[in-house]
A and B are shown apart, each in its own frame.
Chain A
Amino acid sequence: MKYKDYYAVMGVDRKASAEEIKNAYRKLARKYHPDVSKEKDAEEKFKELGEAYETLRDPEKRAAYDQLGSHRPGQEFRPPPGWERQFGGGSFSFDDIDLGDLFAGITGGMHRAGGRGGKVPIPGEDYEVTAHITLEEAYRGTEVDLELTVPEYDESGFAHRVRRAFKARIPKGATDGQRLRLPGKGGKGLNGGRDGDLYLNIALHPHRLFRASDHDLFLDLPLAPWEAVLGTSVQVPTLGGPVRLKIPPGTSAGRQLRIAARGLPKPHGGEGDLFAIVQIAVPTAASERERALFKELAEASTFNPRGHFEAEVAK
């Protein structure tokens, strides 16, 4: 069995009072709780914290933990002789058991495994995980490979934490922040309890061209000044293949041209739209001839893009 230093996880002294332990938990829980935290690995850290707190908050479990002595985190160790008789209530192998699972199994009155060997139906645990997918995958639907550390129970009801690989099918309809529930894909229920569910939190990888908001997509569309003035027809990439888009004459920068139903498929049917946002691009190195023509245009034109400044400037 590998040692875990619960006091170090909670950042408290081995002699800390119950009040100090509670305060340390609250402080760290605010930092790492997956519902409120933006920290990287918040989920994992919160699990470690919860495990440490569950053991240290309970005087009997804490006494049992303290009697294991102090070791380096991750160091293989065995409890002192007689420990399991005193705290575990039976004989079992310590070899491949997780320390957290061992203590989770020691409930009030030092019974093992919280009655998992009994006849009460226990629903399986829900799993929740973030699936990172590309925009193309969201568009078509995809299958993702996920890895999760989950508890599995042996015949005597002891939990063993195992790394399990999952395949999960993500149907069309995804977008950033969207949640998918996969019924029955969580932990197995016991004694007739229902199997848990798997919840996927969808996170889209940034795309080179498109930006998603809900099921709409946005794309920058650079136009040459003369294209914007005269109007044109351009080919625009979409996730479903290129489309031609008519640019009306006199199109200003910032204008959003809507291409209907070329966004992401929605879960309840239909698609979002694609918006091409016009940008006026200028040549960085204009040729002699281009400069001459622009000069001629500047002289001929009466266009004043800052007409609305004039009243203010004249004050």
Chain B
Amino acid sequence: MKTGQAMWLHERLELAFEELCELSGLTETELRELVDFGVLAPIDPDAQHWAFGADRLVVARSARRLRRDFDLDPHAVALVVALLERVRDLEEELRDLRARLPGGGAG
């Protein structure tokens, strides 16, 4: 990870486990829990040192905010984040379908 430079949070850029903790504000335990609950998947779960796609930082930051602001336990965080991810995926699919419709689906 380069510091000081603007960085697109896309899946092909890798963040080390510690970097994801530092940037998201999650503790190592919290981040491990999110991985255990299947909310955040490392690029290679069998690797000795986990790395994540940089787009996972958005999810990790969201998890930290939700935990703090709603006082949620780890299972509830996992549930909310998983549902939000599904909403995001559906929104992306909707955006794609609209883009493919003549007139953008506007009529």
Contact = CB atoms under 8 A, between A and B. Distances in A.
Interface of A: 26, 29, 33-36, 46, 50, 126, 169-171, 173-174, 176-184, 197, 199, 206, 211-214, 216-218, 220, 254, 256, 266-268, 275, 277, 279
Contact of B13 (A199, A268, A277): A268
Contacts of B98: 211, 213
Rank and list the top 7 A-B pairs by shortest CB-CB distance, nearest first: A267-B8, A213-B99, A211-B99, A213-B96, A179-B9, A218-B99, A268-B12
Interface residues of B, number: 32
Given A29-B70, A214-B92, A279-B102, 11 more contacts: A33-B70, A36-B66, A36-B80, A169-B6, A181-B9, A183-B4, A184-B4, A206-B104, A211-B99, A213-B98, A267-B10
B54 to A, nearest CB: 8
B6 A181 contact: yes
Interface string B88-101: 00011001101110
Nearest to A36: B84
Contacts, number: 90
23 contacts: A26-B70, A33-B65, A33-B70, A34-B65, A36-B66, A46-B69, A173-B8, A177-B91, A178-B8, A178-B10, A179-B9, A179-B55, A180-B6, A180-B7, A180-B9, A181-B8, A181-B9, A181-B57, A183-B4, A206-B104, A211-B99, A213-B95, A214-B92
B48 interface: no
Contacts of A279: 102
B29 interface: no
Interface string B43-75: 000000000000101100110011001100000
B103 interface: yes
Contacts of B3: 183-184
A220 B70 contact: no
Contacts of A218: 99-100
